[in-house]
Chain A
């Protein structure tokens, strides 16, 4: 039921494949730690693939915003890939859809960092 995060490198972009639930507790703290580790290693071109995210609560939204701010403040860029309808709806009602750069195609998303 909780979250599963796996990371892979595509060129100079770090892709995080997120599956499951980003909610208060284990889910949001796992995402926070993964992003923090990447920033510490100077990996600041980050693409969050949310295709298999089934659920995000307000705490999870907070982690996305926190990650976005942290990465942006280090001169990097955190973008989102493959939002399903529920996640997209949630970002729209919270007006965050326009804050994040959102992609639907991974290859195009990777190219956008060039």
Chain B
């Protein structure tokens, strides 16, 4: 074998990868996006714990886009794009919904909110990724950018 397991891993980690998909507003798309992200993160050399974190952050962002943004509307799409550079692994998820004020979300860790049955998605996304940007698109809709630093592994 020309390359040891470790050097192959190092090698594959630096192969840039880009994935672009236009997804329907369905729960199947949530699964699909999670699989795409976990697969690419695995090829990028992230360990199992980071694969879970990235997959889960993508899942939560996709649920927000499909359910809360596009409200399962068959005429609305979710734009999923993933790119991987030597420094960072980035996923961008954009919906065509009405958008909402992410800054006004209640703190899910506040004692009075602990027993709420929802409202933890964005918190989990922020917990699992190194950088999260959420912005309202000029065209309407919301775009979430999720970044995992390769160096932080």
Q: Which residues on A are within 8 Å of B, measured CB to CB?
A: 1, 23-25, 55, 57-59, 61-63, 65-66, 68-69, 86, 90, 93-96, 99
Contact A94 B117 (CB under 8 A): no
Contact A99 B115 (CB under 8 A): yes
Contact A86 B52 (CB under 8 A): yes
* Cβ–Cβ < 8 Å partners of A96 in chain B: 114
Contact B27 A62 (CB under 8 A): no
Count A-B contacts at CB 8 Å. 50
Sorting the interface of chain B by its residue count into under 10, 10 to 19, 20 to 34 or 35 or more gives 20 to 34
**B63, B67, B123 — which one has the most chain A CB atoms within 10 A of its CB?**
B63
Contact A58 B115 (CB under 8 A): no
Known: A57-B56, A57-B63, A93-B124. 18 other contacts (CB 8 A): A23-B59, A24-B27, A25-B27, A58-B118, A58-B120, A59-B63, A59-B118, A61-B120, A62-B116, A63-B117, A65-B115, A65-B116, A68-B115, A69-B115, A69-B117, A90-B124, A95-B109, A99-B115
Which DSSP category, helix, strand, loop or mixed, fits chain A's interface?
helix
Which B-chain residue is minimally distant from A26 (CB atoms)?
B27
Task: State which of A1, A55, A86, A95 has its C-beta within 8 Å of the C-beta of B114.
Answer: A95
Task: State which of A25, A58, A86, A93 has its C-beta within 8 Å of the C-beta of B121.
Answer: A58
7 contacts across the A-B interface (CB closer than 8 A): A58-B60, A61-B120, A62-B120, A65-B115, A69-B115, A94-B124, A95-B109
B130 to chain A, nearest CB (A): 15
- What does the 1/0 interface line of B8-45 toward A look like (CB < 8 Å)? 00000000000000000001001100000000000000
Known: A58-B60, A94-B109, A94-B120. A24 touches B30 (CB 8 A): yes
Contact B117 A65 (CB under 8 A): yes
Q: State whether the Cβ of B141 lies closer than 8 Å to any Cβ in chain A.
A: no
Bound complex: CA of A95 vs CA of B112, how far in Å? 12
Give chain B interface residues in 98-126, CB to chain A under 8 Å. 108-109, 114-118, 120-121, 123-124
A79 to chain B, nearest CB (A): 16
* Cβ–Cβ < 8 Å partners of B73 in chain A: none
